[in-house]
Amino acid sequence: MTTDTRTRQSALRVGLVYPDLLGTYGDRGNAVVLVERCRRRGIPAELVELPASSPLPDSLDIYLFGGGEDSSQVLAAQNMAASASSLDRARAGGAVVFAVCAGFQLIGASYETGEGEILDGLGLVDMATVGASPRLIGEVLVEPEPATGLPTVTGFENHAGRTTLGPGIGPLGRVVQGGGNGVDGVDGVLAERLVGTYLHGPVLPRNPALADSLLAMVLGEEELQPLDDSLVEALRRERLAAVTATGWRARRQELHLNRG
């Protein structure tokens, strides 16, 4: 059934998970932009911060996991151990999970650090990550799966993870430039009411169509009221042009070295 966004009774609750641990790369901006895009459409919304000292509730509409350093990721994994059932209940009730980088790794089954320490993940999706070299750093372009209807996603990565998706589990999209999951030429994960990616930026302000796709999942809308995204689209064009040019220069250098 489609939700009428004009008569929504309660505020859409956007949960920012462990901002004290998973907030290194500005991924808080993902929560801010979701609330703002609701506000601009007249949809009541609020940002709820979920500190690592508290268990995750099952009463929110969107759960956002951000990136963090290795030590913070270890602490986050330990604190999340008792929260998988809450997130399962929330998703069963219509909530959406969006996870970036370290948060993306932690929603899987496990993460093995470069030192061989194995961290148990939330197990929300069948995938596993291992730390490896070299570190993947730089701008990334991802062509989302056609079924999403999304345009090219732009962002940047800074991680050592190599994430392998389980059988039947699909990625967010194909990597055009950059590392992404570091395996199989793809980035992220796309599952039932769950999206993950290695892209920072923050990725949702840089890609408003992706932000709106998350909101549409929660609101039950196929399409949301369009917004004036001219400034964001100008940034997207600039980033796409810059990344494409950088990739072409690197490719020419590689060909030159190979010829030598």
170-200 pLDDT, tens per residue? 999 999 999 999 999 999 999 999 999 999 9
Please give the pLDDT value at position 246: 60
Please give the pLDDT value at position 80: 87
Residues of the chain with pLDDT under 50: 1-7, 248-260
| Cα(185)–Cα(183) distance, integer angstroms | 6
Please give the pLDDT value at position 247: 53
| 215 token code pair | 């909101």
Please give the pLDDT value at position 256: 39
Query: What secondary structure does DSSP assign to the chain, as a single string?
Result: ----GGG-SS-EEEEEE-TTTS-TTSTHHHHHHHHHHHHTTT--EEEEEE-TTSPPPS--SEEEE----HHHHHHHHHHHTTTHHHHHHHHHTT-EEEEETHHHHHTSSEEE-TTS-EEE---SSSEEEEEEEEEEEEEEEEEE-GGG----EEEEEEEEEEEEEPTTPBPSEEEEES-TTSSTTEESEEETTEEEES-BSSHHHH-HHHHHHHHHHHHT-SSPPP---HHHHHHHHHHHHHHHHHHHHHHHHHHHHHH-
pLDDT tens, position by position, 105-129: 999 999 998 888 898 999 999 999 9
Please give the pLDDT value at position 2: 35
Instruction: Please give the domain boundaries of the chain with CATH numbers for all domains.
Output: 8-225 (3.40.50.880)
| Cα(83)–Cα(72) distance, integer angstroms | 17
Report, as residue numbers or ranges, the catalytic residues: 101, 200
pLDDT tens, position by position, 149-174: 999 999 999 999 999 999 999 999 99
Please give the pLDDT value at position 56: 94
* φ/ψ (deg, to 5) at 54: -120, 145
| 59 token code pair | 């009463």
| Cα(173)–Cα(219) distance, integer angstroms | 23
